[in-house]
Structure 1
Amino acid sequence: MSLPIATAQSNGAITPDHDDHEIHYNHDHEPIPPKTYGPYLVSDRRPVFQYSVVRNLFIQSLPEYLVDQKEFNAHYFSKNFGLMLYTDDDKPDWKAFVDKVNELNDQAEPGECYKVFYLARHGQGPHNEAIELYTQAVWEAEIGMKKEFKGLRLGPDPDLTEKGKNEAISIGNIWKTQLQHHDLFEAGALPQKFYASPFTRALRTLELTWSDIVLDLPDAPRVKIRENLRETIGYHWCDKRGVMKEVSDVFPWIELEDGMHDEDKIWTEVREDEECGSMDNRLREVIDDIFLEDGETFISITAHSGCLRCVMRVVGHRLFGLETSRMIPVVVKAKLLPEFKDKIKLPERITGLPYNYTPKIYDSLKRKDFDATPPPTKKVQVDIDLH
């Protein structure tokens, strides 16, 4: 069975009724045209920034010949999120990292800005389990278009498996380790703002990671939902999102993007084609908006493998494959394109946290709870004609 693919020029997708805010130039120049969405959430707004990555702060940002992503993932829990800066007693030096990011912003030219993106992939979902059990080829040929297969509920909008939930808790434990033993909070490296995909598997991952770190605080920040942070659109039922009223009831700490439909009117039976550029364009728009609208420096983004791959490509990072429920920090430089340099004023930098985090003593930090790599899932033979 062949996989139907749509290009960015496809006519079949539904245009969402977004009520987007215009971004005005200063000095009374013309505004950037408001977004008019075409297929797969790709708007007609032109790029605003040139992006690049600071490569000497995290090992995952180094070239492929120096750091292998499979080796990194295999030893992820001992990597301190890949930080390359260490104190004299061989501990991760988050203060030196924050000082360096602040120095980059202090010395930035007009129209330039640096942010730290904590890019987190959701934990294992039933669709990920199906691929592990039956192989990617069988998934694409037979399973992906089903809502259920051999006891696995594949969609729409599946939750995490039990393994996926434990993976998300494990990442939370790593954050707790950095907070409790390595002064990440004192250094000022906690996320100031949280963004997420509208899908349950991403929100459940964020919840289990941050529930007893930030989300349980009396003044916990709202997590901003962006439709464009969703996975590749179409064809697979796992990539059809849920009804947002129901999702909001389960995750009351989210804040929906203006103009989002309650039901998913974007998903079609035709698959979005990553190679045609539509995914890069819609993810670039998210990153553009974050730099245009947010004065915060440290930004958490919880989403999907394909989505994060596009983010990396947009900002100029190497395509670093993340296993389920892995997170990597990426330091991104944005520079206004020449035609916008004298017309757009970037937001003033916001320092400090918008919530009151108090250092805690966490009970669940024994390394045996999260440092072991689970054995690979045993492959299951399925007789399916792939031709």
Structure 2
Amino acid sequence: MSSSSLAPSPNSLDILDSQIDPKYRDAYSIKLHQYHLENPNCWEFSIVPGMFKQSDPDTDESKFNYLDEHFGKIGSWDAIVERLNQLNSESCQDEQYKILFLFRHYAGYHNLAHLKYGDDAWNNYWSKINGDDEMTWGPDANLTMESIETARKNSKLIAQELSNNNASNKSLIMPNRLYVSPLSRAIDTLYYTWDPILDLKKVQPKIQENWRETMGIHTCDKRSTRSIINQRFTGKGFEIESSLTEEDELYQDDYRETVDEQAMRMNSALQELFSECGKDESIIGITSHSGSIRTQLMVLGHRSFAVQTGGMVPVFVKALRRGNIEKL
């Protein structure tokens, strides 16, 4: 498998964006404790080790390309899926196991601008406006044309990997459900990646507010109206959650969401996912953003792991309702 059309590894900004200051981890722990007190039967997440290289602390994230590494699987897909099915069949009603494919969108114009101006200038000035004399990145930054072509090329590689190279198991590890951020670059990434592989009008990928990037100040992270999203994507098979408002009521020009606040948002999204999807829906694709994946990994109990644009982290998750934990 060749992945020449994907960035060979995360760049310095990707690695920087994946890191979480201990103060935010502590703040999240405090918020999560309070959430547990108020929701005693919520899901608690952990990682099943030994399934994917990305969860191994010895794996070098700075040199990792999921396409070259066969998604990072340890052993065969047959063995991984057999283990997944076995754990689900042997578990109680309040215990679930899932493989989550956490995809990051391909490069948008905001990513090019971030690289062009550097982290400090981007955060202090350029991220707060809609563009420069060369490109526009706000609101709701789009994928570059090159990224769209890359997504189309890599879709073929993903299909080849997921087919397990076994004619009798063509659907062995295809996702049962797909979820996506409402930002255009994420929805387009999902579309160009999965439309050649799956019947999206049958799968109906769900557009949900909670998967979106860190909110506020950066104009690239302000989403389009519901009407625009509906016009662009529902005809392609996407379903928009009923609670998504016409205007972006969550974005603020003068306040940027903190990491612990975003982590609580990701926890809410994952709580809903595990409550909505039964054990028979055990392989899920989520397409979002670097900041979103950073906090998803923290919520799930996974090590920090940098993901390049267009990259992916597979996570083998155990979810157990806290009410059940207390009985053990």
TM-score, structure 1 as length reference: 0.70
- The equivalent position to 1:257 in structure 2, one of 241, 252, 258, is 241
Structure 2: distance between partners of 1:187 and 1:262? 37
Deviation string, structure 1 residues 216-248 (Cα, Å, up to 9, x no partner) = 6xx521111110111000001000000121112
Counterpart for residue 133 of structure 1: 116
Describe the SS at the equivalent of 1:203. Answer: helix
Describe the SS at the equivalent of 1:144. Answer: helix
Aligned 1:13-52 pairs, distance under 5 A: 46=39, 48-52=42-46
Higher CA-based Rg: 1
Structure 1: distance between partners of 2:141 and 2:60? 31
Describe the SS at the equivalent of 1:235. Answer: coil
Relative contact order (C-alpha < 8 Å, sep 6+): which is higher? 2
One-letter amino acid of the structure 2 residue matched with residue 274 of structure 1 = T
The 10-residue stretch of structure 1 (284-293 or 165-174) with the greater mean CA deviation from structure 2: 165-174
- The equivalent position to 1:104 in structure 2, one of 76, 79, 87, is 87
- The equivalent position to 1:210 in structure 2, one of 194, 201, 210, is 194
Counterpart for residue 295 of structure 2: 310
- The equivalent position to 1:70 in structure 2, one of 58, 62, 68, is 62
Describe the SS at the equivalent of 2:143. Answer: coil
Matched, 1:163 2:123: no
Describe the SS at the equivalent of 1:153. Answer: coil
Describe the SS at the equivalent of 1:158. Answer: coil
**CA RMSD of the aligned region, Å?**
2.2
- Which runs of structure 1 show a deviation greater than 3 angstroms over 4 or more consecutive aligned residues? 44-47, 183-187, 339-342
Describe the SS at the equivalent of 1:247. Answer: helix
Matched, 1:221 2:213: no
Matched, 1:153 2:136: yes
Counterpart for residue 244 of structure 1: 226
What is the percentage of aligned positions where both structures have the same residue?
Answer: 32
- Tell me the number of residue pairs that the alignment of Structure 1 and Structure 2 aligns: 287
Matched, 1:286 2:265: no
Q: Which has the higher helix share?
A: 2
Shift of 1:167: 3.2
One-letter amino acid of the structure 1 residue matched with residue 101 of structure 2 = Y
One-letter amino acid of the structure 1 residue matched with residue 205 of structure 2 = V
Structure 1: distance between partners of 2:217 and 2:38? 27
Shift of 1:340: 8.4
Aligned 1:188-207 pairs, distance under 5 A: 188-207=172-191
Structure 2: distance between partners of 1:337 and 1:269? 38
Matched, 1:94 2:65: no
Query: Compared with structure 1, are the counterparts of its residues 284 and 45 closer, same or farther at alpha carbon in structure 2 (3 Å cutoff)?
Result: farther
Query: Compared with structure 1, are the counterparts of its residues 261 and 313 closer, same or farther at alpha carbon in structure 2 (3 Å cutoff)?
Result: same
One-letter amino acid of the structure 2 residue matched with residue 244 of structure 1 = R
One-letter amino acid of the structure 2 residue matched with residue 268 of structure 1 = Q
Query: Compared with structure 1, are the counterparts of its residues 289 and 133 closer, same or farther at alpha carbon in structure 2 (3 Å cutoff)?
Result: same
Counterpart for residue 333 of structure 1: 318
Shift of 1:274: 2.6
Which ranges of structure 2 fall in alignment gaps of 5 or more residues?
A: 1-23, 25-34
Query: Compared with structure 1, are the counterparts of its residues 187 and 212 closer, same or farther at alpha carbon in structure 2 (3 Å cutoff)?
Result: closer
